[in-house]
């Protein structure tokens, strides 16, 4: 459209000039003929010059030229519009591809940042674990008070049914009760082995059916701690060389344990009325009840039993497992 307007603005003066030039030439040729007639001798033949500069012809030529230029301009505009229509879909497709590439780059950068953060956390945990291992390696081995205690500390876990029965009897369990407990526990173990063998032979090991039947067998299996009262189970752990207490490995500055006077090496016997045999016992006890209420905690320190008061909730100590004679 802009090109067409520019062409019209250019051709208008040209057309006007062409018409004026043709008209002037025609008038001038007429005047020349009149002058020749006046100056010619009498009887001489006057030849009228023939000219093609007819104003109407000039106008027609100018109009034809204008029409041709306008047609050329219109054809050029149409070609430009067709080219634009062809180029626009290609340009839009290229823009869409560029946008998709930018989005993919953004997703990749975000994933790379996430992996980098995860790697940093894993390295920090690995360093902490290494420091923990080093501290355990440097810890001095506790010296037993006497030879009999040293023998108990090195006692191996009972491997045969007879050794398990004797350990239960030493823990205060009646012989008949010990036999019944061991028989029921062994039956569950044998059923588990039979189930696994059957599933392996028939090709459904690891399937939903296998997991469901294992879950049913585990529900029938009662832990030894549930079979015995807590005091008898405590003695059984000690008799079989297992750990039966938790001790304070270190104290976090400013924590409730620090303010209450807990020290590394302290062995936690009871939290409130609950006997503490492992980490889960202490964790469950601190999470029960009303947070912040004061709870008496019995602590074994250097052969003496002391009592500290702690607000129920996180104590702020790092724990370690310990083995203590319940009768001492």
Q: Enumerate long-range contacts of 129-136, CB under 8 Å, 24 or more apart.
A: 135/249
Stretch 159-173: mean pLDDT = 90
Distance CA 19, CA 8 (A): 16
**Tell me, which fold does domain 243-322 have in CATH?**
Pdz3 Domain (2.30.42)
Which two structure tokens, joined as six digits, stand for 132? 């923990």
Residue pointed to by tokens 């790379």: 112
Q: Which residue has the higher pLDDT, 53 or 227?
A: 227
Nearest CA to 322 out of 255, 227, 247 is that of 247
Task: Report residue 152: phi and psi, to 5°.
Answer: -65, -40
300 forms bridges with which residues in the sheet? 267, 305
Lowest mean pLDDT among 14-28, 122-136, 210-224, 251-265: 14-28
What does each C-alpha distance from 194 to 198, 219, 241, 274 come to in angstroms? 6, 17, 30, 39
Sequence length of the chain is 328
DSSP designation for 325: -
> Which residues have a Cβ under 8 Å from the Cβ of 177 and sit 6 or more positions away?
168
pLDDT of residue 273: 92
Checking if the pLDDT of 148 tops 70, the result is no
| Residue boundaries of the structural domains of the chain | 2-89, 153-237, 243-322
Would you place residue 161 in the very low, low, confident or very high pLDDT band (cuts 50, 70, 90)?
confident
| Contact by Cβ (8 Å): 204, 190 | no
Write down the pTM of the prediction. 0.50
Nearest CA to 242 out of 321, 314, 319 is that of 321
Query: Which pLDDT tens digit goes with each residue over 216-250?
Result: 988 887 788 888 999 999 999 998 889 999 999 99
């Amino acid at each position: 459209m802009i090109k067409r307007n520019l062409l019209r603005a250019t051709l208008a003066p040209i057309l006007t000039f062409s018409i004026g030039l043709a008209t002037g030439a025609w008038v001038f040729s007429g005047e020349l003929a009149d002058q020749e007639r006046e100056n010619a001798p009498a009887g001489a033949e006057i030849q009228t010059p023939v000219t093609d500069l007819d104003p109407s012809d000039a106008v027609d030529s100018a109009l034809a030229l204008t029409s041709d230029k306008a047609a050329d301009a219109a054809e050029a505009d149409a070609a430009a519009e067709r080219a634009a229509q062809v180029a626009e879909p290609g340009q839009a497709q290229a823009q869409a591809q560029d946008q998709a590439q930018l989005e993919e780059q953004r997703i990749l950068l975000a994933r790379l940042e996430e992996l980098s953060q995860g790697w940093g956390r894993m390295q920090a945990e690995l360093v902490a674990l290494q420091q923990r291992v080093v501290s355990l390696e440097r810890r001095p081995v506790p010296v037993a008070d006497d030879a009999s205690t040293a023998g108990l500390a090195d006692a191996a876990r009972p491997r045969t049914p007879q050794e398990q029965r004797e350990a239960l009897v030493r823990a205060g369990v009646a012989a008949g009760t010990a036999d019944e407990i061991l028989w029921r526990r062994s039956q569950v173990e044998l059923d588990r082995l039979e189930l696994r063998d059957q599933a392996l032979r028939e090709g459904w090991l690891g399937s939903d059916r296998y997991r469901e039947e294992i879950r049913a067998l585990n529900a029938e299996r009662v832990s030894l701690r549930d079979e015995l009262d807590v005091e008898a189970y405590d003695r059984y752990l000690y008799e079989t060389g297992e750990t039966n207490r938790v001790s304070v490995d270190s104290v976090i500055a400013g924590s409730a344990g620090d303010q209450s006077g807990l020290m590394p090496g302290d062995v936690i016997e009871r939290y409130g009325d609950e006997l503490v045999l492992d980490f889960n016992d202490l964790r469950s006890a601190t999470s029960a009840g009303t947070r912040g209420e004061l709870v008496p905690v019995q602590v074994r320190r250097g052969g003496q039993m002391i009592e500290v008061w702690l607000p129920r909730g996180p104590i702020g100590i790092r724990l370690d497992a310990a083995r203590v004679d319940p009768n001492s």
